[in-house]
Amino acid sequence: MTLTPEQKQTVSSWVAAGDNLSVVQKKLSEHFQLSLTYMDVRFLVDDLGLELKNAAPKLSTDIGKAAPANAGDGHAAATGEEKPGLAKDAAEEGLADDPDGLDAPLGGSVKITVDNVTLLPNALASGTVTFSDGVTGKWLVDNSGRPGMTEISQPGYRPSPADAQAFMQELSLALQKKGF
């Protein structure tokens, strides 16, 4: 299948206007009487070096960005104070019987759990997280291995860079322990 330069220019203008692959496929059929599969249209767009404007929505994976100034109370982070009720000793956490230390939180700041059964669609693993400032949420790892967060207890929350790094390390250790 070869397109004329005019047809290529027309396809380029459709993609530049924000049309997705399905719309381009339909327009190729209507305007040029070309019956192409979705995959053929995908290859055509790639061959023309075009980039789709409205790619599929992604999970929020930017947990490493700094928290906004109004997130959390800021006082505890600035003064180094801990919020009451967050610190527990290893016996209370059930970590005393963990000889490998794999369940021990790094620096005691971020705690995660891994669900025994993952019921979320398109998720390989899921669980819960509690950040050092007490904000909680659910995490998941999708079929592509990308981590994401859902159901955060504080809307618009972004963990501190240290918490984000600790979360990723904790998640990696916990998933390795479960055999992922």
**Each residue's pLDDT tens digit in the chain (180 positions)?**
688 999 889 999 998 988 888 899 999 999 999 888 888 888 888 888 888 876 544 455 555 444 444 444 444 444 444 434 433 333 344 443 443 434 444 445 888 888 888 777 778 888 999 998 888 999 888 888 888 888 888 888 888 888 888 888 888 888 888 887
Let me know if residue 158 belongs to a domain. yes
CA distance 138 to 148: 9
Let me know if residue 24 belongs to a domain. yes
Q: Within this chain, do residues 10 and 96 fall inside the same structural domain, yes or no?
A: no
Q: Within this chain, do residues 89 and 163 fall inside the same structural domain, yes or no?
A: yes
Let me know if residue 63 belongs to a domain. no
Which residues of 27-79 form beta strands (DSSP E)? none
Q: What is the pLDDT of residue 13?
A: 92
Q: What is the pLDDT of residue 175?
A: 84
Q: Within this chain, do residues 122 and 42 fall inside the same structural domain, yes or no?
A: no
Q: What is the pLDDT of residue 108?
A: 54
Q: Within this chain, do residues 93 and 164 fall inside the same structural domain, yes or no?
A: yes
Q: What total number of domains does the chain contain?
A: 2
Q: Within this chain, do residues 105 and 148 fall inside the same structural domain, yes or no?
A: yes
Let me know if residue 88 belongs to a domain. yes
Q: What is the pLDDT of residue 87?
A: 38
Q: What is the pLDDT of residue 67?
A: 42
Strand partners, 128: 113, 138
Task: Residue 98: give the domain boundaries.
Answer: 75-177
CA distance 54 to 50: 12
**pTM for the complete prediction?**
0.41
Q: b or e along 13-32 (b: 16 or more beta carbons within 10 Å of the residue's beta carbon)?
A: ebbeeebbbeebbebbeeee
Burial class (CB in 10 A: 0-12, 13-18, 19+), 65: exposed
Q: Within this chain, do residues 16 and 85 fall inside the same structural domain, yes or no?
A: no
Let me know if residue 95 belongs to a domain. yes
Let me know if residue 169 belongs to a domain. yes
Q: Within this chain, do residues 43 and 84 fall inside the same structural domain, yes or no?
A: no
